[in-house]
Amino acid sequence: MLGLISGKKLGPASLALAALGAVACDTPEAATPRQVEAPTTLPESPVSVSGVEVASSDARRRGRIVGGEALARPVRWPSPDHVDRALLARLEVETQSGLAAAPAPVLLPTRSDWAERGQLHTGPKWWAFESHASDMHLNISASAQARLYEGVRGAEGPERVRGQAAFVTRNEGIWSISWLEHGVAYAIELECEATQPACEDERELRALAESLRFVGGAGASASETRGGPR
């Protein structure tokens, strides 16, 4: 059985997306990737492996698959009409300019003024947004890449966030939520340097996640992702 696991390396944001697929067994066999034969005939439409769609044309080109091989997630871009223009206009000029390089839909919070203070970083298959306020750090990221492993099955998060199955966790005072949306993997994290009511439980981070709105990305028309009057 083949499964998918999210994975990427973020740059300045120092944030790794949670594994929305599964965790490979820590055995000598799992440590050494084995080649498995890919289907010889695949439909033209995207196929689903452990609940995550993979472009069948991409799988056909690969032929034999090595465990841990990176696969592109088929991004489902929202219509440019869904861009939150009021939020877009509030962003820093550098963030607005960087949207065109984001390989997945960029979702930023309307709650408070996190979006205005933040910085956007992009890579070939990911983007990350970081913002700071009152001894608190907010990180949001998206990955348009998944990894294929033999014998690893996907797992669905037990929580519901933004109408999607999600994982809500806390590790060393950092609250994290990860989920799938628009065909890609998203994660949002909130960290407090000192005792802050916002980090006492997950309610503040949940509210931030629910407030996320689409502001653009590489798949949106350049004319539709600039702030200010049209």
In this predicted structure, the answer to whether residue 6 has a pLDDT above a threshold of 90 is no
* DSSP code at position 199: G
Three-class SS state of 39: coil
In this predicted structure, the answer to whether residue 71 has a pLDDT above a threshold of 70 is yes
> How many CB atoms are located within 10 Å of the residue 45 CB?
9
Does the pTM surpass 0.75? The reply is: no
- Amino acid letter for position 212: L
- Give start-end residues of each CATH 2.60.120 domain in the chain: 80-144+151-218
In this predicted structure, the answer to whether residue 60 has a pLDDT above a threshold of 70 is no
Closest to 1 (Cα-Cα) out of 49, 64, 51, 71: 49
How far apart (Å, rounded) are the C-alpha atoms in residues 202 and 42? 42
CATH topology of domain 80-144+151-218: Jelly Rolls (2.60.120)
pLDDT tens, residue by residue, 102-124: 999 999 999 888 999 999 999 99
Three-class SS state of 97: helix
Closest to 180 (Cα-Cα) out of 190, 169, 167, 171: 167
Q: What is the pLDDT of residue 133?
A: 85
